[in-house]
């Protein structure tokens, strides 16, 4: 059984650029969530994808967008990068959306630095 | 916004001692979960307690939940150097569960060998 894999591990971008982060969910998990964690803070929910559709969104602007593919892998896209977007981006997968209590399996994250 | 607040923000104890961390939250929950994070990397799920449960055990971990006080505690017994990490509580407050987690600010635990 594989865990959640994120790529790349580290990334440096210039303000105004666009970035795509990738996540492969754990085998058997069809729900993927993305979180942003600023230094010294707890993770903040960005959005969740279930069966290729966005299912819930946190307080993030539209320049944060995502995709989920038929194999349940996912991408996070951020346009017009700002310095405050510098953070650790975490992907988490879970067995299913809806009724039930499940812990999430997190990837190791992508450290994004915007300069 | 942060739903939960962990207390203390930082904790240093000798190896072998017990460590207790507390979490308070603001709204009704489906469940509350505890996660560990080493050196700013990915989070590891430790334990989940449902809103109708009061106490749960897993190995050296003991979690309590008091929904009337909107608080939870995590006890790590017989601490080890490998327990050094940040610990976060996270609440699931959504209607159907498993839709999003709201994390607290974390407790930084240091185990002194």
DSSP tag of B52:
T
CA A17 to chain centroid: 18
Residue pLDDT, tens place only, A29-69 = 888 999 999 999 999 999 999 889 998 899 999 999 999 99
**CA-CA distance, A97 to A25, in Å (whole number)?**
14
Q: Report the alpha-carbon angle A47-A106-A67, nearest 5.
A: 35
Give me the pLDDT at residue A1, please.
Answer: 47
Instruction: Say if A106 is an interface residue toward chain B (CB within 8 Å).
Output: yes
Hey, are the CB atoms on B2 and A42 less than 8 Å from each other? yes
Residues of chain A by 3-state class (helix, strand, coil), percent to 5: 5, 50, 50
Q: Nearest residue of B to residue A10 by CA position?
A: B41
The SS3 call for residue B103 is strand
pLDDT in tens, B52-70: 999 999 999 999 999 999 9
Q: How far apart are CA B67 and CA B46, in angstroms?
A: 20
Q: Are A3 and A55 in contact (CB under 8 A)?
A: no
Tens digits of residue pLDDT in B44-55: 999 999 999 999
Is A101's CB within 8 Å of B45's CB? no
Nearest to residue A44, comparing CAs of A33, A32, A30, A29?
A: A33
Question: What's the mean per-residue pLDDT of chain A?
Answer: 91
Cβ–Cβ contact A70 with B under 8 A: no
Q: Does B59 touch chain A (CB under 8 A)?
A: no
Which DSSP state fits B82?
G
Residue to test with chain A: of B5, B45, B100, most A Cβ within 10 A = B100
């Amino acid at each position: 059984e594989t865990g959640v894999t994120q790529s790349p591990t580290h990334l440096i971008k210039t303000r105004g650029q666009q970035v795509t982060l990738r996540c492969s969910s754990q085998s058997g998990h069809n729900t993927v969530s993305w979180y942003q964690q600023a230094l010294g803070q707890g993770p903040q929910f960005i959005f969740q994808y279930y069966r290729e559709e966005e299912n819930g969104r946190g307080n993030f602007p539209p320049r944060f967008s995502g995709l989920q593919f038929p194999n349940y892998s996912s991408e996070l896209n951020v346009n017009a990068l700002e310095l405050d977007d510098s953070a650790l981006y975490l992907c988490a997968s879970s067995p299913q959306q809806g009724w039930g209590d499940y812990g999430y399996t997190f990837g190791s994250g992508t450290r994004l630095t915007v300069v | 916004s942060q739903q939960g607040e962990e207390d203390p923000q930082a904790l240093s104890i000798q190896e072998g001692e017990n460590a207790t961390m507390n979490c308070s939250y603001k709204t009704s929950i489906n469940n509350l979960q505890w996660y560990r994070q080493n050196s700013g990397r990915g989070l590891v799920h430790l334990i989940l307690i449902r809103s109708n449960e009061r106490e749960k055990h897993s190995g050296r971990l003991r979690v309590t939940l008091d929904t009337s006080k909107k608080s939870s505690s995590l006890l790590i017994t017989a601490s080890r150097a490998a327990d050094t990490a940040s610990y976060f509580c996270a609440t699931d407050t959504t209607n159907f569960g498993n839709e999003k987690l709201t994390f607290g600010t974390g407790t930084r635990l240091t185990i002194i060998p």
